[in-house]
Amino acid sequence: MTDPFEPRREHRFTFGLWTVGNPGRDAFGAAVRPTLRPPELVALLAGVGAYGVNLHDEDLVPFGAPAAERDRIVAEFKRALDDHGLRVPMATTNLFSQPVFKDGAFTANDPAVRAFALQKTMRAIELGVELGASTYVFWGGREGVETQAAKDPVEALKRFRHALNFLTHFCRDRGYDLRFALEAKPNEPRADIYLPTTGAMLAFIETLDHPEMVGVNPEVAHEHMAGLDFTHALAQAWERGKLFHVDLNDQQGPRYDQDLRFGSANPKAAFWLVRFLESVGYEGPRHFDAHAYRTEDVEGVRDFARGCMRTYLILRERARAFDADSEVRDLLAALRADDGSQSDVLGAYSPAAARALLGRRFEPAALGARGYRYERLDQLAVEHLLGVR
Ligand code: GLT
Ligand code: MN
Ligand code: MN
């Protein structure tokens, strides 16, 4: 019998080169795994059933590499992609590792740093387009401060807006069919990062020259670091047609960014978010921005990658079972019941509707006495999640 949770190409799962390629270096210790070369990472991902691989410019081409070396590396990488049938749906720029970006990139105080950040991003966009990417992610890791003395926060927003406008114009000039996806994070590596949540990004997008080109890339861990509900972030983005990409991983509460295996820390939150993505018909890539525990060798990295994808597929099946459960359906039908008696006042505003509403008598005590059966509904979700139903 075939395993229904075996990841396959058609599931469109993707990983960053920096995720499966993470050698386990952290703030307290050195690398614990060999650094695999990009073509080796392509082979590893193909071997576990992934659809694609995403990258920062520097994940592939070392910072400052001469043009001839860049071309050789890119050609070798493309051969590996072809040999293994992997795609590059998303690309991004590393604007955080080099010392030049220690004060940020697009929001840095030094105009030469801001200009260099734009140049580096234009070159990275060219690379992404060459590799066939259709989404370009912006994660402003160092776009923030440790002290409010450092930067005018209003000026910082203007600088960030200028950069994104410049880059959308650049893509249009070049005829690139690329959509930008902005990724929020509240802190780390800066003490406080600008536009710290998906909601903040969504408001900012509307102020751009080409808002239609720009959406979001919410990350589970980042919203959880801010103590927020991830599904709500997804929903707000989806409702505005702005869910261009998603970074799936996990996180234990509001602490440093853990980038844990998807669904490993908070499977219930993962259950709701998978149910959401599947029920609305999200068609973008399911990208895992996570890495294996530092205890793992390369085989453990494969376990990690398979685990992310399997858990997604298992939760998808669990969510379907929950929604097909007749008791769940009955409870939800009761919650959604509407006898139409308020439809005259709950439609669009009109002076007549306002007059009717001001004159209506309600029975708040009776309305307040109702039980909603959310306890039963949630227990049913838990039982589906735990596999006993
Ligand atoms: C970095 C960060 C991620 C971003 C990546 C894209 S790099 O690992 O923590 O959340 O998605 O720049
Ligand atoms: Mn993260
Ligand atoms: Mn991310």
Residue 3 located in a structural domain: no
pTM above 0.85, yes or no: yes
Q: What residue's CA is closest to ligand 1, atom 12? A: 139
Whether residues 85 and 177 share a domain: the answer is yes
Q: How far is the CA of 143 from the centre of ligand 2 (A)?
A: 15
What single-letter DSSP state applies at residue 117?
A: H
Among the candidates 272, 291, 320, a domain finishes at 320
Whether residues 372 and 250 share a domain: the answer is no
Residue 363: per-residue pLDDT: 98
Tens-level pLDDT at each residue, the chain (389 residues): 689 999 999 999 999 999 999 999 999 999 999 999 999 999 999 999 999 999 999 999 999 999 999 999 999 999 999 999 999 999 999 999 999 999 999 999 999 999 999 999 999 999 999 999 999 999 999 999 999 999 999 999 999 999 999 999 999 999 999 999 999 999 999 999 999 999 999 999 999 999 999 999 999 999 999 999 999 999 999 999 999 999 999 999 999 999 999 999 999 999 999 999 999 999 999 999 999 999 999 999 999 999 999 999 999 999 999 999 999 999 999 999 999 999 999 999 999 999 999 999 999 999 999 999 999 999 999 999 999 99
Whether residues 274 and 365 share a domain: the answer is no
What is the extent of the structural domain holding 166?
9-320
Residue 1: per-residue pLDDT: 67
Cα-only R_g, the chain? 23
Among the candidates 320, 348, 363, a domain finishes at 320
* Distance separating the N- and C-terminal Cα atoms of the chain: 22
Residue 134 located in a structural domain: yes
Nearest ligand, CA of residue 221?
A: 2
Residue 2: per-residue pLDDT: 86
- And the tokens for 307? 């685990």
Residue 293: per-residue pLDDT: 98
Q: How far is the CA of 369 from the centre of ligand 2 (A)?
A: 43
Whether residues 250 and 359 share a domain: the answer is no
Residue 2 located in a structural domain: no
What are the helix (H) ranges across the chain? 17-20, 38-48, 57-60, 67-84, 111-130, 153-174, 198-205, 220-225, 230-239, 267-280, 298-324, 326-335, 343-346, 351-359, 364-368, 374-385
Task: Choose one of 136, 139, 143, 244 to mutate for the ligand 1 pocket test, by most ligand atoms within 8 angstroms of C-beta.
Answer: 139
Among the candidates 302, 320, 338, a domain finishes at 320
